[in-house]
Amino acid sequence: MDELQFFNNYTTIYQKFIRKLLVLINRRPILEEGSVRKVRTICELCFYYCGIDVYLKDGDVIRVSGVKENPSNRGEVCMKAKALPEIHHSPGRLRHPLIHEADGWRRASWDEALDMIASKLRELKGEREERKVAIFQGVGVGHHLVKWFMMRFADLYGTPNFSSVSSISYLSRAIGHILTYGDVSAPRFEETNCMVLWGSDPYATLYPRWGSRVLEAKRRGAKLIIIDPGPNHFADRADLLLQPLPGTDLALALGFINVIITKGLHDEGFVDRWTIGFEELKERVAVYTPEFVEKMTTVPKEKIEEAARMYATLKPSSILQGAGIELQLDGVQTSRALAILHAITGNLDVKGGNMLGVRLPMLMLRFTDRVNGEPLGGSEFPFFYEIERSAHMRNMIDAMAEGKPYPVKVLILAGGNPMVTWPDTRKVRRALANLELFVVIDVFMTETAKLAHIVLPAADFLERPAIGDYGHYIAPPYVAIGKEVVPPLEEAKPDIMIFAELARKLGMSEYFPWKDLREAIRAVIGPSGIKLEEVDRQGGGIYYSEKRFKGYEDVGFKTPSGKIELYSKRLEEAGQDPIPRYGRKIALDGRYPLLLITGLKRQGYVSSQFRNIPALRSLEQEPLLYVNPQTAQRYDIKDGDLVILRTVNAEREIKVKLSRYIHPNAVGVVSGWSGINELTDWNDYDPISGFPNLRAITCNIDKKQ
């Protein structure tokens, strides 16, 4: 089976046709070469900042190609980027400020819309009620750069309640890694001998270059272990495929640690020199024998032993951790267990292992001394707050919906779609309806934007400069600058400039002194010593330092002890278990005998985005429920049947898609479809991160009669 066929295992013939069509469109010859212009920039359809060349003809984006020099994608582009001309020129783009009135939407001027917002903010500030204003940044904006300026605006206004998508993505992993060794790590497959895809399908998720790295490593002989209860595009390529019952990843990780320690496969020299708490860890995992873990996870004990041995002995080994690990009841402790695996096997910060990240020195934009009060959720989730320095979305929803501990009256939402992506859709709707002023800044009219009082049109990433620091996500110390490829569409404005203009109306103009975004970026990267002109001369990107492995040998780890903390006193002091423990047994009964995974992935989508783009919508026309054929036989259902999917919270009708790659005791749906989160809620959540359980929800299905 060739790679193209392999990647299309889970697509229909029509989907294959659309994918090939996108490739052909982007490979078509450029006619009338003199009228075509090429602009190099970075892609922000997700947060990996792939380098792209954008081809323009008569001002229109006609195609996109990858930049080989960019370490993120090395010349590759995903199907989202190939569809960029259609995304950018979509007739659904927002073009003007809109105000919602009794008889519908009315076009407004920027001054009118911003004056309305500023008036309400001044009213609350005059009452010393700045905390009742919340500002939220979603995944659909320019990520770090926009986020920093939004935080600056929130601080200067005085509200502690800036929040972001970090309340439901990535921070759980970061907490687990940082509590263990003081930083976040990323795998390095280029030199690895053993790859572990733990809850991750690199081809289907945001960043396809990881998929190519897997294939390249396999071609040179590296082993591949996949741990995933759901469909995975690399399942047929795996040397070992482990499918644990959803929600039992922590038990499985502790089983790995048990095998590694009891068989003497750990790196004794590294453990003695650089860790604390090994004896306590050894005692804790003694009970997690392969036989015991098999009962909890359904993974055969022989596979547990073999996978643990492969990871520990085929060094260097590395683990790519997926988002599904975070969205479980013990997501932080599972991330801790994986970080412990990196450490005790000596696979941390070495070539081919899990590398510690680096960061470009940048200007600090915060003014936390101007904030009035503590952020919502800051005291309940102190480790989240310590890293993110912001409010938690979970608590913000409570404040909007229930007025606890106080009501939030204003929400300014940039690049988010909570009516689709946040748990418990009914509660979200109630929360948004309670707001006295709800403002949405977006590129498209989303389901959430339809409920707003004011909608402001945002420029897309081709219409503004940007900055991408790669050190944090994929480890190489590289920074790239994105260019304004084309002017903003009609009256659309970059998110940062919208907040800057609102700041000026509130008398805060001295804190947003930059005449344009490029000047602001110049100021932000000033502390690094890098000049924009230098980056331009280097083709849009530049390495700002050399990656040095085993940097801890000079400075230790960024933990209180300076070592890797297998036993975390900080967790103990916070009332949490200092060593990961799997103390929860998933209760499947006759009423809810299955587990629902709401986070299966399709490469063409990022969260709820791009389903309005015809070429990408064709990948999956409607939400589908992935069901194992064994399960389907028990329920007397077949491919294409309609079933009622039911949880304790709600039920909905959905079409069945059979897949032998999903666990027989689980069903799954691709994330980002409208209505799916009616089935979920915030009542089950990780007590350390506050992240909801979205990957192991008890459920049942009934064939629709």
Average pLDDT score, the chain: 92
| 166-190 exposure pattern, b = at least 16 Cβ within 10 A, e = fewer | bbbbbbbbbbbbbbbbbbbbbbbbe
Residue with tokens 């801890």: 552
Region for residue 32 given its phi and psi (left: phi exceeds 0; alpha: psi -120 to 50; beta: otherwise)? left
Per-residue pLDDT at 32: 41
Please state the φ and ψ torsions of residue 487, each to the nearest 5 degrees.
Answer: -70, 155
Q: Judge whether residue 450 has pLDDT over 90.
A: yes
Q: Which residues pair with 55 in a beta bridge?
A: 38, 63
Which helix (H) or strand (E) segment holds residue 321: the answer is strand 317-321
* pLDDT-based confidence at residue 208 (cuts at 50, 70, 90): low
Structure-model confidence comparison of residues 15 and 610, the more confident one? 610
Per-residue pLDDT at 545: 87
Would you state the structure tokens that stand for residue 365, as one six-digit string?
């934009």
Dihedral sign, CA of 540, 545, 550, 555? negative
Per-residue pLDDT at 326: 94
Distance of CA 27 to the CA centre of its chain: 30
Would you state the structure tokens that stand for residue 71, as one six-digit string?
């370490």
Stretch 672-683: mean pLDDT, rounded?
A: 94
Distance of CA 629 to the CA centre of its chain: 30
Structure-model confidence comparison of residues 644 and 534, the more confident one? 644
Angle among Cα 83, 88, 89 to the nearest 5 degrees reads 100
Would you state the structure tokens that stand for residue 90, as one six-digit string?
């979509």
Span 16-67, pLDDT tens digits: 444 454 444 444 433 345 589 999 999 999 888 899 999 999 999 999 999 9
* pLDDT-based confidence at residue 142 (cuts at 50, 70, 90): low
Q: Which residues pair with 625 in a beta bridge?
A: 656
Helices (H), 489-581: 495-505, 517-524, 532-537, 552-555, 569-573
Percent of the chain scored above 90 by pLDDT? 83
Residue 398 · residue 412 · CB < 8 Å: no
Percent of the chain scored above 70 by pLDDT? 94
Per-residue pLDDT at 18: 46
* Sheet strands (E) in 416-559: 437-442, 454-457, 466-469, 478-482, 541-543
Angle among Cα 472, 478, 481 to the nearest 5 degrees reads 105
Per-residue pLDDT at 141: 65
What is the model's pTM? 0.93
CA distance 458 to 662: 39
Residue 308, CA distances (Å) to 180, 349, 506 in order: 20, 20, 58
Preceding amide of 405 cis, omega within 30: yes
CA distance 535 to 469: 13
CA distance 699 to 595: 6
Per-residue pLDDT at 475: 67
Q: Which candidate, 130, 117, 133, 134, places its Cα nearest to that of 501?
A: 117
Per-residue pLDDT at 203: 85
Stretch 144-150: mean pLDDT, rounded?
A: 89
Span 336-381, pLDDT tens digits: 999 999 999 999 999 999 999 888 899 989 999 999 899 999 999 9
Residue 199 · residue 325 · CB < 8 Å: yes
Q: Judge whether residue 601 has pLDDT over 90.
A: no
CA distance 262 to 259: 5
Angle between helices 495-505 and 143-157 (to 10 degrees): 10
* pLDDT-based confidence at residue 9 (cuts at 50, 70, 90): very low
Per-residue pLDDT at 206: 59
| 425-454 exposure pattern, b = at least 16 Cβ within 10 A, e = fewer | bebbbebbebbebbbbbbbbbbbbbebbbb
Q: Judge whether residue 156 has pLDDT over 60.
A: yes
Q: What is the DSSP letter of 88?
A: H
Q: Judge whether residue 521 has pLDDT over 70.
A: yes
Query: Biggest alpha carbon distance in the chain?
Result: 72
Residue 182 · residue 559 · CB < 8 Å: yes
Encoded amino acid at 650, one letter: A
Per-residue pLDDT at 514: 92
CA distance 350 to 343: 11
CA distance 700 to 672: 21
Please state the φ and ψ torsions of residue 210, each to the nearest 5 degrees.
Answer: -60, -40
CA distance 657 to 634: 15
Would you state the structure tokens that stand for residue 651, as one six-digit string?
């039920």
